[in-house]
Amino acid sequence: MSARSAQLPRLLSRAAKLATPATARLAAIRASARQMSTARVSLRSNVLRTTPFVRARQYSSKSYPDHQLVGMPALSPTMTQGNVGQWQKQVGDRIEPGDVLVEIETDKAQMDFEYQEEGYLAKILAPTGTKDLGIDQPVAIIVENEADVAAFADYSPGAKTEAAPAQETVAKEETKEAAAPAKAAPSQAVESGDRIFASPLAKMLAKEKNIDLAQVKGTGPRGRIVKADIEGFVAPVAEKAAPAPAAKAAKPAPKAAPAAPSVSAGFTDIPLTNMRKVIATRLTEAKSTIPHYYLTQNITMDNVNKLRKSLNSAANGSYKLSVNDFVIKAAASALRDVPDVNSSWQGEFVRQHHHADIAVAASTPAGLITPIVRTCDAKGLKAISSEVRDLVTRARANKLKPEEFQGGSFTVSNLGMFGISSFSAIINPPHAAILSVGTTESRLVLDEASEKGFKAVENMSVQLSADHRVVDGATGALFLKAFKG
């Protein structure tokens, strides 16, 4: 025991010596890890400072002051171009984050473009009335200092620009790519092998007009071919007198409005609005790709009319319920009872919605739009009535927000106020069904309890247009049965 006790201090000393290098190595590893973590945080912060800013500050060959080009914004998911409405700011005005810069007519409605930075409006590049301007095409110039506004009085959108020397690498690359289309030859739309960059609408128009996209010079972002390029394209012909070289870089002129017809023309050409173009495209697609079928149901409205009259009398003018309010509520209840109709076709799957978000077809001066009343299954008649009136009023004034007319799970279209007995509506994709509502009419029906053997009733005809990929015929019949109650 004494010999072992004598060896114990030596063993402990040796173990301490062996542990020291390991402890030092562990400390070194931890220090290295901290340095790498710090480096990653630093790198990440640098990326965050440089990459989100899409609009690179630019300088021109005339050494314009530091400025930003503001492009046409994409205010809806389906928007590819827009029309410029009334400018809410004038040259020299100060802009605060959230200020409305200009009204933009999208493919759905006329909307306010709110600018989210501070500065001064130095130049308006797209005046009120400019049409079919592609996404990201410049509409205005913003500067930070009010004293720089005057320097842009003679600025032209065609001015050659280059990135500021102090701009980060990402901003430089963006600026170079944006400047590339101005230098490219007419065949510059063909890049990265044989790929042609063109918008879907431009491709469709080119196909209709038998135009080779490889011969079209794109004026969109990064040389992308847009609709205006196709409409303004002139096919090359056998060389006649060659134009002067200085004219080769001429920019496509803005689309001119149709000339006023002469007295003897006998017709008037009305330019298409963006909304009308979208209506034409979507309804043509819906009618040609969705397998529609139709179911009709007649509904006696006597009890509904009595209830409506009673509720409106009790309201003392605070609200006024319409027949359409009852239709929307009844449709929401039927969608809850037959959820297969409250679905939408998604290509690879069918999406069944948990709430009845009902789109209400509304006629506006610009065309048809379908504002959405959300969660109708959880709302009463008064709330539905108030919301429908508000949405339709703002729709006709072009004041709807995108989220107020995009989406939904079912559509109601009512032409009863025009005296239409019944009609077959076209499905509003991706919805699986739409309910068309006719007017209420007096009809004679058999009645054994009556002395005459018949009686007059108020009758309303409704028709369900359904997508057979989603809703089977029997399911559609169950929905109308639940709707009738």
Active site residues: 468, 472
Contact 95, 121 (CB under 8 A): yes
Angle between helices 302-315 and 323-337 (to 10 degrees): 120
Cα torsion at 229, 234, 237, 242 (round to 10°)? -90
- Closest C-alpha among 412, 389, 388, 408 to residue 462: 412
DSSP 261-321: PPTTS---PPPPPHHHHHHHHHHHHHHHHS-EEEEEEEEE-HHHHHHHHHHHHHHTTS---
For residues 23 and 16, what is the distance between their CA atoms, to the nearest angstrom? 10
User: Torsions phi, psi of 363, nearest 5?
Assistant: -90, 130
95 burial level (CB within 10 Å; 0-12, 13-18, 19+): buried
State the sign of the Cα–Cα–Cα–Cα dihedral 274, 275, 279, 280.
Answer: negative
User: Is 214:229 a contact under the CB 8 Å cutoff?
Assistant: no
Q: How far is CA 40 from CA 27, 43, 44, 169, in A?
A: 20, 5, 6, 19
Q: DSSP labels for 397-421?
A: TT---GGGTS--SEEEEE-GGGT--
Look-up: residue for tokens 């100060």? 94
